[in-house]
Structure 1
Amino acid sequence: MTDLQPLLRGAADEFLRVARGIGPAQLSAPTPCTEYDVRALLNHLLYWGPWLEAAVRKEETPSMEGGERAADLVHDDWQAALTTRVHGLLEAFASPGAFDGTAGGMPAEMVASMILMEWVVHGWDLASATGQTLHCDDETAGVLLVAAKAMAEQGRAHGIFKDEVPVARDAPALARVLAVTGRPPEWCVANVT
């Protein structure tokens, strides 16, 4: 079993670095996550943050009435709010027993993998949309590739993943993760380091 704690911390740092590089004029830019532009993707991350943190802390999760599309969470202080959310999740994962049992009705380790995927894959989406590069080390990408394949069928059934797209077998692990999640093929091999 891989220790996800250092991978989460590294992915969080890189995700926040990308977020700090997003300017106001880029909020309407399209992303490889085709149903979201930059603003909507940031809204998605801000919306689900409190639920995920409560789940990891094994507390009662907040009601998500209204849905993320009705929420408008990207204001002038969105970067500070996103930083608070990410740091809150890191603190939750630093708590004893955070990776044990269940979190929000799912295995806690699966939730950790999902959050790692959110930070890396959506971080890459944001980086690609705003002319940046997201760096993902081989260990993290390898863990995510295993997790993405394990989640793929359920992810597609719930509309979270699209159909897998073809990439070369020797493509970098991050490119293969992106392909499993169904990112458009022309994006999957761009901006991958």
Structure 2
Amino acid sequence: MADICEQLAIAAQEAARLARGVNSTQLTDRTPCPEYDLRALAAHLMQEIVLHSWDLAAATRQVPRFPDEVAATVLRWLEHEQDAKRADDWYERPVPTASTSVLDRAVALSGRDPKWRATSLNAEAT
């Protein structure tokens, strides 16, 4: 069986295929998650992918390359949902940042320090 990171890559490819199969008329459709219509579910999945990919990149000294448009969508979702999600312990308090990077601002709003980098000698850049 493939290692966990290979499986993650396969899962991400399948998620991308499924997302490409959604058309704009379906975005208000219900989902099995009662709190999300399809648009909200897609936004939730995207913020999970972007933020946890940033975590993966920071932990392994890689550089995430999300387009600003994607990072801006995540930032808007976080701005809209932050109080409710923080109350549910999804996120820590926002981290102050002077960065103008949209991704850094989203990362900071989620309670992560955009300047955080791995210090382990085992975290080799790829």
Q: Under a length normalisation based on structure 1, what TM-score does the superposition of the two structures give?
A: 0.52
1:143-187 deviation digits (Å, cap 9, x = unpaired): 11111111101110111111112112x621111101110113643
- Give the whole-Å Cα distance in 1 for the aligned partners of 2:115 and 2:18: 36
Q: What's the secondary structure of 2:62's corresponding residue? A: coil
- Aligned Cα RMSD in Å? 2.2
**How many residue pairs get matched?**
113
The answer to whether the 8 Å contact 2:71/2:103 transfers is: yes
- Give the whole-Å Cα distance in 2 for the aligned partners of 1:112 and 1:87: 15
- Give the whole-Å Cα distance in 2 for the aligned partners of 1:87 and 1:133: 19
Aligned to 1:179: 108
Aligned to 1:160: 90
- Asked if 1:136 corresponds to 2:66, the answer is yes
Deviation at 1:89, TM superposition (A): 1.7
- Asked if 1:121 corresponds to 2:51, the answer is yes
What is the one-letter code of the residue matched to 2:94? Answer: E
- Give the whole-Å Cα distance in 1 for the aligned partners of 2:88 and 2:21: 30
Q: CA 1:136 to 1:90, structure 2 compared with 1: closer, same or farther past 3 Å?
A: closer
Deviation at 1:76, TM superposition (A): 4.8
Q: What's the secondary structure of 1:135's corresponding residue? A: coil
Aligned to 1:99: 27
Aligned to 1:148: 78
1:31-66 deviation digits (Å, cap 9, x = unpaired): xxxxxxxxxxxxxxxxxxxxxxxxxxxxxxxxxxxx
User: In percent, how many aligned pairs have the same letter?
Assistant: 26
Q: Under a length normalisation based on structure 2, what TM-score does the superposition of the two structures give?
A: 0.76
What is the one-letter code of the residue matched to 1:101? Answer: D
Structure with larger RCO (C-alpha < 8 A, sep 6+): 1
Deviation at 1:122, TM superposition (A): 0.8
4+ aligned runs moved over 4 Å, structure 1:
none
Deviation at 1:101, TM superposition (A): 1.3
